[in-house]
């Protein structure tokens, strides 16, 4: 039997160890509440940074740099002696031995906090998953930006008008905040940016279509939903509700009403699913892959494993289907869990979680936004200004806030996004593989020319 390899250089101390999986809104907020007086904390994440997901769409539309919405996890932990971070991907939970298995070794825990967040949900549609673009990480956003810019460059090379339109058209699937905000940003690029960058193209042929099976901003009020549709249509976005995208082969999107839409760029923002880790029984998993937790965020059936944020499904009288999978839920659950861990160390009873809805915001473009706040609603410039302030001060790091503010100011007054760069990693392996394949083909052809054909062989025999 192979001996287990444990993650080295994490010191054994007299304090109990809390292992946190995930450095998103929930995991990082939990760590920031500094439980070092009572516990040793170990944070595990496959990325070495925290990213501000609500602004990913601005990276995808060349408004912000990826670094402006990302913050190094180690910088957060620099002054904390009893908090350790490891770049690791957790592969399995072993509750019977209180361990987690990672790609860099095993790690023991006294308490485990799962905050792995959620990923794009393609609802089992393999063809769409293979060909569509998702937007759940900075690398996804860069890929969208690259795809849009590259398709515009390819559009210039098309002689056929119908082929050109395929490269210009953009489809967005999903009318939640991500889809609405992305559609608005692309509409502004069509109006202010693309005509200057691509004067040779007839941009009246470009279509930005937003597909939503129900209504826009379904989690917000009817007032916000109707306003967002009006705003988008005024900006030139074609809003198609009540129709689903049932397939996409990379060029043609098949729709539930039997029609099709031709595009080389389809962004899927239609749903999310929890990032599960192997090791927990099916009885703990609810709809959307979320883990069933009690009012203290304890996974049902386990006295020392917690789940917070998008991963957790807590059924309460007010929220029988679980709380909304938004940043505020994650932050509030993380804060209370940190407080409860201190109470646990002091032998006090744990406090139940109660969600406080602080409102919802969505921006549709320059000076256009909707806001559902407790007791009242906002629209237009006031809502847009509030959205900007809230997001600016939620970003981690003074430097990041400064650069975001600088970019926003520049974009607002100049009507220009200056980050329209096609930056792609060098495909060294693919290049070497292609060269190797070509060499084999050349040698094969060279060898084949040296072998006489059947007719040549007969001719030689008869001549002799």
What is the C-alpha separation between 77 and 356, in angstroms, rounded? 28
- Integer-rounded Cα Rg, in Å, for the chain is 27
- Quick check: 237 and 208 in contact, CB under 8 A? yes
Pairing of strands 90-94, 99-102: antiparallel
Report CA 220 to chain centroid distance, whole Å: 21
The single-letter DSSP state of residue 102 is: E
State the Cα torsion 319-325-331-334 to the nearest 10°: 70
* Region label for 124, one of left (φ > 0), alpha (ψ between -120 and 50) or beta (otherwise): left
- pTM of the full predicted structure? 0.87
- Quick check: 266 and 222 in contact, CB under 8 A? no
**Residue 122 confidence (pLDDT):** 94
Q: Please choose, from the candidates 39, 36, 30, the residue with its C-alpha nearest in 3D space to the C-alpha of residue 114.
A: 30
Per-residue pLDDT 10s for the chain (464 aa) are: 568 899 999 988 889 999 999 999 999 999 988 677 889 999 999 999 999 999 999 999 999 999 999 999 999 888 777 899 999 999 999 999 999 999 999 999 999 999 999 999 999 999 999 999 999 999 999 999 999 999 999 999 999 999 999 999 999 999 999 999 999 999 999 999 999 999 999 999 999 999 999 999 999 999 999 999 999 999 999 999 999 999 999 999 999 999 999 999 999 999 899 999 999 999 999 988 999 999 999 999 999 999 999 999 999 999 999 999 999 999 999 999 999 999 999 999 999 999 999 999 999 999 999 999 998 999 999 999 999 999 999 998 888 999 999 999 999 999 887 778 887 766 554 555 445 455 444 544 544 444 454 555 445 444 44
Report CA 281 to chain centroid distance, whole Å: 26
**Residue 82 confidence (pLDDT):** 84
Which two structure tokens, joined as six digits, stand for 122?
A: 């393609």
Those residues whose C-beta lies under 8 Å from the C-beta of residue 381, and which sit 6 or more positions away, are: 367, 368
- Quick check: 383 and 354 in contact, CB under 8 A? no
The phi and psi torsions of 122 (rounded to 5 degrees) equal: -95, 5
**Residue 398 confidence (pLDDT):** 86
**Residue 1 confidence (pLDDT):** 56
Rounded alpha-carbon distances, angstroms, from residue 63 to 57, 173, 179, 188? 9, 21, 16, 11
The structural domains of the chain, ordered by start, are 16-46+88-120+273-345 (3.50.50.60), 126-270 (3.50.50.100)
């Amino acid at each position: 039997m192979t001996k287990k390899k444990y993650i080295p250089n994490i010191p054994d101390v007299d304090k109990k160890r809390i292992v946190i999986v995930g450095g998103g809104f929930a995991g990082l907020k939990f760590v920031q509440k500094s439980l070092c007086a009572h516990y040793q904390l170990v944070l595990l994440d496959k990325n070495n940074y925290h990213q501000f997901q609500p602004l990913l769409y601005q990276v995808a539309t060349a408004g912000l740099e990826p670094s402006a919405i990302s913050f190094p996890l180690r910088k957060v932990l620099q002054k904390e002696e009893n908090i350790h971070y490891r770049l690791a991907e957790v592969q399995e939970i072993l509750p019977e031995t209180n361990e987690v298995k990672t790609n860099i070794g095993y790690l023991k825990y006294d308490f485990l906090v799962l905050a792995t967040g959620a990923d794009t949900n393609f609802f089992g549609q393999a063809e769409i998953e293979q060909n569509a673009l998702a937007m759940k990480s900075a690398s996804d956003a860069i890929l969208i930006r690259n795809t849009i810019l590259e398709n515009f460059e390819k559009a210039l090379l098309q002689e056929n008008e119908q082929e050109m339109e395929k490269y210009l058209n953009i489809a967005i699937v999903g009318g939640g905040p991500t889809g609405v905000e992305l559609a608005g940003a692309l509409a502004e690029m069509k109006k202010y940016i693309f005509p200057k960058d691509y004067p040779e193209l007839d941009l009246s042929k470009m279509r930005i279509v937003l597909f939503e099976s129900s209504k826009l901003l379904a989690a917000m009020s009817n007032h916000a939903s109707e306003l967002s549709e009006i705003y988008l249509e005024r900006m030139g976005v074609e809003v198609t509700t009540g129709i689903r995208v049932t397939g996409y082969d990379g060029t043609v999107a098949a729709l539930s009403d039997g029609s099709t839409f031709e595009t080389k760029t389809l962004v899927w923002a239609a749903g999310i699913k929890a990032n599960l880790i192997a090791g927990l029984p099916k009885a703990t998993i609810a709809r959307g892959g979320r883990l069933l937790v009690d009012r203290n965020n304890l996974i049902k059936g386990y006295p020392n494993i917690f789940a917070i944020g998008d991963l957790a499904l807590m059924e309460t009288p007010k929220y029988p289907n679980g709380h909304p999978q938004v940043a505020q839920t994650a932050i509030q659950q993380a804060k209370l869990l940190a407080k409860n861990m201190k109470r646990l160390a002091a032998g006090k009873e744990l406090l139940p979680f109660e969600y406080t809805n602080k409102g919802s915001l969505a921006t549709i473009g320059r000076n256009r936004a909707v806001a559902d706040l407790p007791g009242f609603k906002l629209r237009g410039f006031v809502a847009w200004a509030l959205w900007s302030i809230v997001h600016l001060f939620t970003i981690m790091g003074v430097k990041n806030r400064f650069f975001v503010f600088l970019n926003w100011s520049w974009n607002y007054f100049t009507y220009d996004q200056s980050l329209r760069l096609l930056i792609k990693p060098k495909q060294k392996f693919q290049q070497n593989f292609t060269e190797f394949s070509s060499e084999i083909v050349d040698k094969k052809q060279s060898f084949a020319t040296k072998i006489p054909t059947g007719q040549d062989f007969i001719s030689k025999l008869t001549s002799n």
